[in-house]
Amino acid sequence: MKEMLNQIRATALEKIAAGEDLEQIRIQYLGKKGELTAVLRGMGKLTAEERPVIGQLANQVRADIEAAIAEKAEALKAGALAEQLKAEKLDVTMPGKTMRVGHVHPLTRVQRDMEEIFIGMGFSIAEGPEVEYDLYNFQKLNIPENHPARDTQDTFYITDNILLRSQTSPVQARTMEVQKPPIRIISPGRVYRSDAMDATHSPLFHQMEGLVVDKGITMGDLKGMLETFAKAQFGEETRCRFRPHHFPFTEPSAEVDVSCFACGGKGCRLCKGEGWIEILGAGMVHPNVLSMCGIDPEEYSGFAFGMGIERIAMLKYHVDDIRLFYENDVRFLEQF
Amino acid sequence: MNLSFNWLHDYIDTDKITDVKKYCDRMTDTGSKVEGYEVLAGDVTNVKIGKVVAMERHPDSDHLWICQIDVGAEAPIQIVTGAQNVFVGAIVPAAVAPANLPEGKQIKAGKLRGVDSNGMLCSFGELGLTSHDCPGKEENGIWILDECYGQYLGQDVCDCLLIRDTVVEFEITSNRPDCLSVIGLARETAASMDLEWHVPPVSVKGTGDGDSIDNYLSVGISAPDLCYRYAAKVVKNVKIAPSPDWMRMRLRAAGVRPINNIVDITNYVMLEYGQPMHAFDYKQIEGKAINVRRAGDGEVFVSLDNISHTLDSSMLVIADQNKACALAGVMGGLNSEIENDTVTVVFESACFSGPDTRVTAKKNGMRTESSARFEKGLDPENCLPGLMRACQLVEMLGAGDVVDGLIDVYPGKKEQTILPFTPEKYNKFLGTEIDEQTMIDILATLECRVQDGKIYVPSFRSDLGCMQDIAEEIVRIWGYDKIPSSCIKAETTQGMRTPKQKLFVATEQLMYGMGISQIQTFSFISPKYYDAIALPADSALRTSVVISNPLGEDTSVMRTTALPSLMEVLQRNNNFSNQNVRLFEMATIYLPDADPALLPEEKTVVTIGMYGDADFYCMKGAVENLLKMAGVKAPVYTACTENPSYHPGRCATVTTADGKYLGVFGQIHPVVADNYGMNIPVLCAEIDFDALFAVCNTEPDYKPLPKFPAATRDYAFVCEEELEVGKIMSVIAKAGGTLVENVELFDIYRGEKLGAGKKSVAFRVTLRAADRTLTVEEADKISKKIINDLKFKLGIALRA
């Protein structure tokens, strides 16, 4: 019997190794009607001494055959998988299937970037009409009728009293009229000036202005705020330069340059060798403006600033012609 | 304002300004913005004053001359010239080789037809000058200098004739008309550079012959609201001549063309003192009287540039008994212009109202150097110093005899501005710690005297009127760059977008995600664009806000619809052969109020445009997504045949379930597309963003996930082509009530078997109960009801 068992094992392992059908082998040797089972049925005839020995051997044979089958099955599976993977190989250098993506307009992109910076500093976004009363665009901003400062902003008029806003500052006046300090707003939007279209001028462009009014606001605060903005917008290394200027609605007023973000201030083509790029007008809100908008300049002070979005977009993205923003050629738009 | 350093030197020791670039930077830093600077004749070297001591014909030429020129050296040098106006004894500019002339021209020694020539005799043009700079001199020959220069042989021509100069160009802000003058800039220079400066005293000798101005003239101001001061002097025995070189060169450096001594004096004083002057030819003033009066409506005036103007009563004129002789502060009249035979001159030095001068100049289309100054508001106290300086110059130039006596009518004298001196306030406001004495010193350099806690503001600084103005004066000289940067110390505020602004940004983001790129177009259009999109003649949208002074017709009205702008962009891209284009704009439109005195309503429209690989259902999908994002429940899409911009069979309006209009979309009418040169299907949508925001609900509301399985039933119905799928779907949804979870159209079939004009529409209906598993019987019951309802309501049956 011992020989029979060993014989069964040898034959079965041989067949497994030869690659015969594993299920067939399992049935033939290990199945209910299989050869091993048949041998074991003869166990009853054995003596009490032989029985455990043979039983142990039989179990061993069964285990060996099962293990061999499992091992072979595993090998076959691995081989098949390898085959499959090989067959499924792709040319990864072929272009991807395009998922169409829409592009943000570069002006929107700059505007949203700036909005995020100021929202982070506690600003809200204020909006106002583009077709505006002279009252808000000029008079409440300390620019009375026939003031020479009006010359610098050639204005489109609808009627004597209604115009296309030449700056987003009227939103500041409107905000101050209805909101008590603390005020921290930015007002981005379209403005209009009667400039013929060329590479650097457009009769319609975008500005973003900011206004802070509160108790104890200082000119140092204005510098600090704009420096923070400039670093966030143009990079940590950016420095600011404040030059005295005149705007009727601020006093003192400043023009603000940032260190050239192309050359870092050494002088290059972008900054025309100056090392500085003018991007902002700013100043402390004129007490007349505060008074006209119903805020007591003795109690409150504030600052305001404004910049052109096109200008910043042109500088940041090296766009050399302002008209590209309004032509909307997709070959241009897709670069943003 | 161009500042000549030669001129500035009269007031300040310019030799102490060693580095012009640094000077320019410092002036910019203190508020006088420098646009640039130029050294006139800066590149000219070795051009000397020479005297022709001998000349002979060139042996091989019938036009060349061989000249011996004394340039102050031991021996004369030989120069060959082709000019014919030289003569022995002539004083000439001689470029002695090697020499440099303007624009990089170099003069080297050489031979001219075999004869040595060691330089070149120059015309004034070759030294960069014009005939206005050198009156009476021959333009095409050598510049023959006045004999008086004979004493300077060998000296540099550019230095000797004051041609060489450093000119700094300033951009002066409108609040500082006082800086539109050499004196004003000298003051700023002194304050900025910490230099001494002084105004040389002005004195006029007069004739002392017993003659008086009263024998010539009286002045009355009948419009004192427009004229604050009018001062005048009379000069007799005038000899009109060119002004001297030094004066012409200074005018040239300032960018003003020299004319003659009297006119040049008026310009000189304007540039030096900032006081516009005018000179009348006395013989043209009728009645020995000047009246400063308003013009009559319709009064005709011919300005000295020979242009006729029709005036009105808002304008001020300087008139004699019978006529206007000048438009006050703007320009003199042709009738009283200084001419070569003028013998008696009236100098006017006046102060006119700024805003009114501005309006007058604008109305007559002539902004002059004078009006540009007056409109900024000049100092009436400056009238007399300017007038006296002019008379002093008359005497200096020997241009005439200044008649004794002065006319000075001064109805608009202003009180001096006195402001409290509040150093703590300035520091608190600026965020600085500038000490009091520094402040006082800075103010003193600007001629703001501080005494007993008060600041006495000089009359030429009418721009200083409040604490903030003084703070700026102090800090601009002290240095903006020294202000320490700080953080706001105040109540915190919450920064965030409003819900509408959030929806705006979310809409943009959704569009990008759907592969639609953003455009930005002009808000103003041509009214003709309404024709291009086939707006009916009686459409309310044709009433636009009209710009009264547009740049051109194309940008003359504020758009009431953003469709033309979108179409134009699509057209442009199509012309560029850009394929498969999908674009959107968050466009503002402007709907005028019935009352033109009120502002228009400004609304935002989301416009979407597509062509190429897009069809009606692509566009509808985009619109559906937008509405879904905005949380619009069960929007209703209705065929729209009446919108003339769109294809009558491929256009839909979308409304909320309760009928509120949200927008329109579809294929652009082929005729409209053709107007834009596009013969391909173009899809557009116009969604009213404000309406969308009004109904939007972007807060998600979680519903528990289904716990029980769904039953699905598929149906195919045959119906007329005309029957809208939407109607069938809504009947199905109603028939099943709350148990219908979803109705999905999965196939439309048309074919011969169905017959012409028929279609088969196939739906998969998903049924589910929230609280139980639907039994087969229940599902069958609903199914039967769906079929029955469709039969009775729409008359359609299952496909056999």
pLDDT at A265: 84
Number of H helices, E strands in chain A: 12, 9
Cross-chain residue pair B514–A102, CB shorter than 8 Å:
yes
Q: CB of A34 within 8 A of CB of A27?
A: yes
Same fold, B2-41+165-193 and B418-478: yes
Interface of B with A in 507-546 (CB under 8 A): 508, 511-524, 545-546
- B442 or A9, which is more confident? B442
Q: Does B27 touch chain A (CB under 8 A)?
A: no
Helical packing angle, B182-193 and B261-273, nearest 10°: 30
By DSSP bridging, strand B711-720 and strand B797-798 are antiparallel
Rank B62-76, B456-470, B752-766 by mean pLDDT and report only the highest: B456-470
Are B64 and B82 spatial neighbours (Cβ–Cβ below 8 Å)?
Answer: yes
| B600 contacts A103? CB cut-off 8 A | no
The residues with which B587 forms a beta bridge, in sequence order, are B605
Query: Could you give the angle at which helices B436-445 and B182-193 cross, rounded to 10 degrees?
Result: 150
Distances (CA, A) of B542 to A156, A334, B24, B98: 20, 34, 55, 74
Mutation site for B-interface testing, chosen from A165, A219, A238, A322 by largest number of B Cβ within 10 Å: A219
CB contact under 8 A, B486 and A223: yes
B498 — contact with chain A (CB < 8 Å)?
yes
CATH architecture of the domain B2-41+165-193 equals 2-Layer Sandwich (3.30)
Residues 6+ apart with CB under 8 A from A180: A295
Q: What is the pLDDT, as a whole number, of residue A327? A: 96
Contact B31 A245 (CB under 8 A): yes
A255, containing H or E segment: strand A250-259
Nearest partner of B457 among B414, B405, B403, judged by Cα: B414
Q: What is the CATH number of domain B45-160?
A: 2.40.50.140
Task: Quote the CA–CA distance of A255 and A311 in Å, as a whole number.
Answer: 15
Model pLDDT for residues B351-387, shown as the tens digit of each residue: 999 999 999 999 999 999 999 999 999 999 999 999 9
The nearest CA of chain B is from the CA of A283 a distance in Å of 10
Selection from B615, B618, B662 nearest residue B636 by Cα:
B662
Report CB contact under 8 Å: B484, A329. no
* Fold classification of B213-409 (topology level): Phenylalanyl-tRNA Synthetase; Chain B, domain 3 (3.50.40)
- Work out the average pLDDT over B157-172: 93
Q: Do A330 and B522 touch (CB under 8 A)?
A: no
Interval B250-258 mean pLDDT:
93
Closest listed residue to residue A128, CA positions, set A9, A209, A230, A66: A209
pLDDT band for B140, please (50, 70, 90 cuts): confident
Task: Provide the pLDDT for residue A81.
Answer: 93
Q: In 3-state terms, what secondary structure has residue A240?
A: strand
Band of residue B638 on the pLDDT scale cut at 50, 70, 90 = very high
Residues in chain B: 800
Considering chain B, what is the average pLDDT of its residues?
A: 94
For chain B, positions 262-291, list CB contacts with chain A under 8 A. Answer: none
> How many beta carbons lie within 10 A of that of residue B52, not counting itself?
24
Other CB atoms within 10 A of residue B714 CB: 11
Positive or negative torsion for Cα B159, B162, B164, B168: positive
Dihedral pair phi/psi, residue A184, rounded to 5°: -140, 100
Contacts of B70 (CB under 8 A, 6+ apart): B50, B51, B53, B76, B153
Classify strands B517-518 and B581-591 as parallel, antiparallel or unpaired. Answer: parallel
Is B431 in Cβ contact with A100 (below 8 Å)?
Answer: no
What residues in B contact A286, CB-CB < 8 Å? 468
Domain B418-478 in CATH 3.40.50.620? The answer is no
Given an 8 Å threshold on Cβ–Cβ distance, is A131 in contact with B558? yes
CATH 3.40.640.10 for the B499-695 domain, yes or no? no
Residue A37: the pLDDT is 82
User: If DSSP codes are grouped into helix, strand and coil, which group holds residue B363?
Assistant: helix
State the pairing for strand pair B711-720/B758-767: antiparallel
Using DSSP's 3-state secondary structure scheme, residue B749 falls into strand
First-to-last alpha carbon distance for chain A, in angstroms, is 85
Portion 543-562 of B in contact with A at CB < 8 A:
545-551, 555, 558
Sign for the pseudo-dihedral over CA of B616, B618, B623, B624: positive
**CB-based contact B355 A334, cutoff 8 Å:** no
Residues of A with Cβ-Cβ distance to B472 under 8 angstroms: 244, 251-253
**Does position B694 have pLDDT exceeding 90, yes or no?**
yes
Q: Which residue has the higher pLDDT, B554 or A151?
A: B554
d(CA A253, CA B469): 10
Beta carbons of A328 and B573 less than 8 Å apart: yes
Interface predicted TM-score of the whole assembly (ipTM), two decimals: 0.87
pTM to 2 decimal places = 0.86
Q: Among candidates B512, B576, B680, which has minimal Cα distance to A330? A: B576
B717 neighbors B787 (Cβ within 8 angstroms): no
Place of tokens 């499959």: A84
d(CA B619, CA A147): 51
pLDDT tens, position by position, B261-302: 999 999 999 999 999 999 999 999 999 999 999 999 999 999
**Residue of B491, B517, B578 with shortest CB distance to A102:** B517
Three state DSSP letters for A144-203: CCCCHHHHHCCCCECCCCEEECCCCHHHHHHHHHHCCCCEEEEEEEEEECCCCCCCCCCC
Largest Cα separation within chain B, whole Å, is 133
Q: Are B694 and B687 in contact (CB under 8 A)?
A: no
The shortest C-alpha distance from B24 to chain A (Å) reads 13
Long-range contacts of the stretch A317-322 (C-beta < 8 A, 24+): A317/A106, A318/A270, A319/A106, A320/A199, A321/A199, A322/A199, A322/A200, A322/A201, A322/A202, A322/A205
How far, in whole angstroms, is CA B20 from its chain's centroid? 29
DSSP state letters, B341-361: T---EEEEEEEE-HHHHHHHH
- Tell me the chain A residues in contact with residue B498 when contact means C-beta distances shorter than 8 Å: 124-125
Pairing mode, if any, of strands B45-57 and B33-40?
unpaired
CA–chain centroid gap for B16, Å, is: 37
B591 in A contact zone (CB under 8 Å): no
Give how far B50 is from chain A: nearest CA, Å. Answer: 42
The model's pLDDT over B172-182, given as tens digits with 9 standing for 90+, comes to 998 999 999 99
A93–chain B nearest CA distance, Å: 24
Cα B454 to chain center, whole Å?
39
Provide, as residue numbers in chain B, all residues whose Cβ is less than 8 Å from the Cβ of A159: 548, 596-597
Choose the closest CB to B483 out of A223, A286, A301: A223
pLDDT at position B490 over 90 = no
Assign a CATH topology to domain B711-798: Alpha-Beta Plaits (3.30.70)
Q: CB of A40 within 8 A of CB of A92?
A: no
- DSSP at B404: B
* Residue spans per domain, chain B: 2-41+165-193, 45-160, 213-409, 418-478, 499-695, 711-798
pLDDT on residue A28: 87
Tally the residues of chain A: 336
Confidence of residue B430 (pLDDT cuts 50, 70, 90): very high
**Amino acid symbol at A286:** H
Query: DSSP assignment, residue B180?
Result: S
| Residues 6 or more apart in contact with residue B765 via CB below 8 angstroms | B712, B713, B714, B715, B732, B736, B740, B742, B743, B744, B783, B786
Query: Exposed, middle or buried: residue B390 (CB in 10 Å: 0-12, 13-18, 19+)?
Result: buried
- Searching chain B, which residue's CA lies closest to the CA of residue A214? B490
pLDDT tens digits along B748-796: 999 888 888 999 999 999 999 989 999 999 999 999 999 999 999 999 9
Q: What is the CA radius of gyration of chain A?
A: 42
Q: Quick one: residue A170, left, alpha or beta (phi over 0 = left, psi -120 to 50 = alpha)?
A: alpha
CB atoms within 10 A of CB A275: 17
Verify whether the Cβ–Cβ distance B517 to A218 is below 8 Å.
no
Output the pLDDT for position A12.
87
Contact, B11 vs B182, CB < 8 A? yes
The span from the CA of B49 to the CA of B30, in Å, is 41
What domains are defined for chain A?
2-87 (no CATH), 106-333 (3.30.930.10)
Name residues of chain A where pLDDT drops below 70. Answer: 151-153
Nearest to B490 among A156, A182, A197 (CB): A182
Question: Which residues of chain B does A310 touch, with a Cβ-Cβ cutoff of 8 Å?
Answer: none
Grouping H, G, I as helix, E, B as strand and the rest as coil, residue B428 is helix
| Inter-chain touch A223–B485, beta carbons under 8 Å | yes
- Specify the DSSP class assigned to residue B336: G
pLDDT exceeds cutoff 90 at B131: no
Query: In chain B, what residues touch A248 (CB-CB under 8 Å)?
Result: 175
Q: What gap in Å lies between CA A158 and CA B687, rounded to an integer?
A: 28
- Are the C-beta atoms of residues A302 and A214 closer than 8 Å to each other? yes
Q: Which residues contact B548 (CB under 8 A, 6 or more apart)?
A: A156, A157, A158, A159
DSSP string, B493-522: ------HHHHHHHHHHHHHHHTT-EE----
Residue A44 CB partners (closer than 8 Å, separation 6+): none
